[in-house]
Amino acid sequence: MPQQNQAEEAAIAASGITTFNNETEQGGGKEEDDETASVFSMKSLLWHGGSAWDAWFSCASNQVAQVLLTLPYSFSQLGMLSGVILQLFYGFLGSWTAYLISVLYIEYRTRKEKENVSFKNHVIQWYEVLDGLLGPYWKAAGLAFNCTFLLFGSVIQLIACASNIYYINDRLDKRTWTYIFGACCATTVFIPSFHNYRIWSFLGLGMTTYTAWYLTIAAAVHGQVEGVVHSGPTKLVLYFTGATNILYTFGGHAVTVEIMHAMWKPQKFKYIYLLATLYVFTLTLPSAAAMYWAFGDQLLTHSNAFSLLPKSRWRDAAVILMLIHQFITFGFASTPLYFVWEKVIGMHDTRSICLRALARLPVVIPIWFLAIIFPFFGPINSAVGALLVSFTVYIIPALAHMLTYRTPSARQNAAEKPPLILPSWTAMYVVNAFVVGWVLVVGFGLGGWASITNFVRQIDTFGLFAKCYQCPKPQPAPALAPQQQRH
């Protein structure tokens, strides 16, 4: 193992990248060798992770949460062919911009390390990278888009929890379940950082793997419903709403920098997101295609895939596992918000977990409240994708990379050179310009128009503070026959 570590260090040194000595915000500066030495300790095994495998599990687990249940709904809006093509397209596009974010993080970290800046008890976040590389206006833009995206990402998890549990226990309406799960998810304030998600990420990915293959097998066993119709795409509004939901699916980059910072060797992150996306394809493509094949246009009015499958022990198990994973994903989305809030009120350096948990609680309240106001499961995914993910995940990273390396000196002294698949800076500029243009026009422009139109329709149909969104209407009691009425 020491020889392997020395070889890795030599390779990193040869590439001109600074080797970072990552320290957790709890103050324990540990190297990978220290982690290897204590690998058999329970704390290290379950709690304190910073390896490339931990990052892979975090990225893959963060991508496939509740959106797994809305992709069949998107396929009904897009049609089978467009659904498959757009998943592949946005999956690789998202992997590219995650790579750009990792490059910019390494550039920022390298420059700060040369200035002898210490990050002990401090978690680097995306807006700080933008501030250090491009200035305060970029910091403001990154902070606004990222925090709003993470806020609504947390809201979506609460809505999804209430939507899913309703299919096991419908004695309580979805709004009441939202109150209950809001209190449960508030306990994530006790998880200090992404170092401490090792076991949760592993379990979360296992849970969504089960759910994805349950959807696939259950749809195949159920077979096509009588008179099934596959009419999509039929309307532009529905088409671009579905497309932006898929754009949102592969846009888990709002926590990329925090996941990188939790690694002992952040340089290893470069291709982790792509490898995670390839695994996610094995979950999302079969499940969405099978559900759309079986139920067709019925999915247009059922944004949660669970609602169309018959009740069984297998479905109940999938619902329960997805609920646990949504709790984990709530923590993924809200933890960066906790960090920002801690920095604002001056509590980020505090080592006491209880004090930090108490300071974080005000962040949970608006998340809870918004989930009660807008309980629209599928449409809110598309709206967030078009208006927030398009900038946070795709446009801002591509533009930031172009501007950071716009001068010859910046390119010459870059901590990370262009990858082997695009060995020239010109090629990288062309790809980045395409990303910006495509997402600005198709994702934000057309997608924003379609998703907002659809979102407003949901408000007009169900109203704000809807008590039970898309719940089956109660069946009227059968009328008594005249003879029965007389008796």
* DSSP symbol at 265: S
Burial status of residue 188 (CB atoms within 10 A of its CB: 0-12, 13-18, 19 or more): buried
Average pLDDT over residues 71-99: 94
Collapsed DSSP state (helix, strand, coil) of residue 417: coil
pLDDT at 478 over 60: no
How far CA 357 is from CA of 24, 98, 124, 187, 461, in Å, comes to: 17, 30, 19, 8, 39
pLDDT at 189 over 70: yes
Please name the residue that has the structure tokens 């990858």.
Answer: 419
Lowest mean pLDDT among 280-284, 329-333, 476-480: 476-480
pLDDT at 403 over 60: yes
pLDDT at 331 over 80: yes
Res. 22 pLDDT band, cuts 50 70 90:
low
Rg from Cα positions in the chain: 23
CB 103 within 8 A of CB 416: yes
Domain ranges of the chain: 49-462
Most confident stretch, 100-109, 155-164, 463-472: 100-109
CB atoms within 10 A of CB 228: 14
CB 50 within 8 A of CB 60: no
Mean pLDDT for all residues in the chain: 82
Res. 463 pLDDT band, cuts 50 70 90:
low
Residue 279, CB-side half-sphere exposure with 13 Å CA sphere? 18
Average pLDDT over residues 440-455: 88
Average pLDDT over residues 224-246: 89
pLDDT of 459 reads: 65
pLDDT at 475 over 70: no
pLDDT digits (tens, 9 = 90+) for 35-76: 444 444 555 555 566 788 888 998 888 888 778 888 999 999
Please name the residue that has the structure tokens 């243009």.
Answer: 437
Angle at CA of residue 331, ends 326 and 336, nearest 5°: 140
Residue 102, CB-side half-sphere exposure with 13 Å CA sphere? 28
pLDDT of 1 reads: 46
pLDDT digits (tens, 9 = 90+) for 94-135: 999 999 999 999 999 999 988 888 877 788 899 999 999 999
* Closest among 149, 179, 138 to 161, alpha carbons compared: 179
147: Cα separation from own chain's centroid: 13
Average pLDDT over residues 404-427: 92
- Residue 72: phi and psi, rounded to 5, are -60, -35
Contacts of 131 (CB under 8 A, 6+ apart): 138, 139, 142
397/435 Cα distance (integer angstroms): 10
* CATH 1.20.1740.10 applies to domain 49-462: yes
What percent of the chain stands above pLDDT 90? 38
pLDDT of 433 reads: 97
pLDDT at 299 over 60: yes
Name the β-bridge partners of 23: 29
Tell if the pTM clears 0.95, that is, is over it: no
pLDDT of 460 reads: 59
